[in-house]
Structure 1
Amino acid sequence: HARSSYGHLQGDVRRRQLFSYHKFFLRIGQDGKVNGTKNGEDPYSFLEIRSVDVGVVAIRGFTSNHYLAIRENGVLYGAKEFGPDCRLNERIEENKYNTYSSAKWKVKNRRRMFVGLNAKGKPMKGKKTRRKNTVTHFLPMVLK
Structure 2
Amino acid sequence: MLMIPLLVLLSLLDPVSPRAPCAPGQACDPRHRRDAGGRGGVYEHLGGAPRRRKLYCATKYHLQIHPNGRIDGSLEENNPFSIMEITAVDVGVVAIKGIFSGRYLAMNDKGRLYASEVFNKECEFVERIHELGYNTYASRHHSTEQPSPPGGGGGKRRASAKRQWYVSINGKGRPRRGFKTRSTDKASLFLPRVLGNKDHEMVRRLRDSQSPHHHAHHHTGRGERRRRRHRARKGRRPDD
- Give the TM bin, normalised by the shorter chain: over 0.9
Q: Distance in 2 between matches of 1:37 and 1:67?
A: 17
Q: How far apart are residue 5 of structure 1 and its match? A: 5.1
**Aligned counterpart, 1:136:** 188
Change (3 A) 1:82 1:5: closer
More displaced stretch, 8-17 vs 117-126: 8-17
Aligned to 2:72: 35
TM-superposed CA distance for 1:107, in Å, is 1.2
Structure 2 counterpart of 1:48: 85
> Structure 1 pair 142/111, CA: closer, same or farther in 2 (3 Å)?
same
Change (3 A) 1:133 1:66: same
1:2 counterpart residue number? 22
Question: Would the aligned equivalents of 1:89 and 1:100 in 2 still touch at CA under 8 Å?
Answer: yes
RMSD over aligned CA atoms reads: 1.5
**Aligned runs of 1:8-27 on 2, under 5 Å?**
9-27=46-64
Partner of 1:95: 132
Distance 2:48 2:125 in 1: 14
| More RCO (CA 8 Å, sep 6+) | 1
Greater strand content = 1
Q: Name stretches of at least 5 consecutive residues in structure 1 with no aligned partner.
A: none
CA 14–54 in structure 1, closer or farther in 2 if over 3 Å, else same: same
How big is each residue's C-alpha offset from its partner over 1:73-110, in whole Å with a ceiling of 9 and x where there is no partner? 10001110000000000001123210000011111221
Which residue of 178, 184, 193 maps to 1:126?
Answer: 178
Q: Which runs of 4+ in 1 moved over 2 A?
A: 1-5, 7-12
Count of residue pairs brought into register by the alignment: 144
Equivalent position SS for 2:179: helix
CA separation in 2, counterparts of 1:34 and 1:7?
34
1:135 match: secondary structure = helix
Q: Distance in 2 between matches of 1:132 and 1:95?
A: 13
Match of 1:108 among 145, 148, 154: 145
Q: How many angstroms does 1:7 deviate by?
A: 6.1
Unaligned 5+ segments in structure 2 are 1-20, 31-45, 147-161, 197-240
Supply the distance in 2 between the matched residues of 1:60 and 1:7 (Cα, whole angstroms).
24
Identity %: 40
Q: 1:59 aligns with which of 85, 96, 106?
A: 96
Structure with greater helix percent: 2
SS in 1 for 2:133: coil
Deviation at 1:10, TM superposition (A): 3.6
The structure whose Rg is larger is 2
Contact 1:11–1:52 (8 Å) recurs in 2 = no
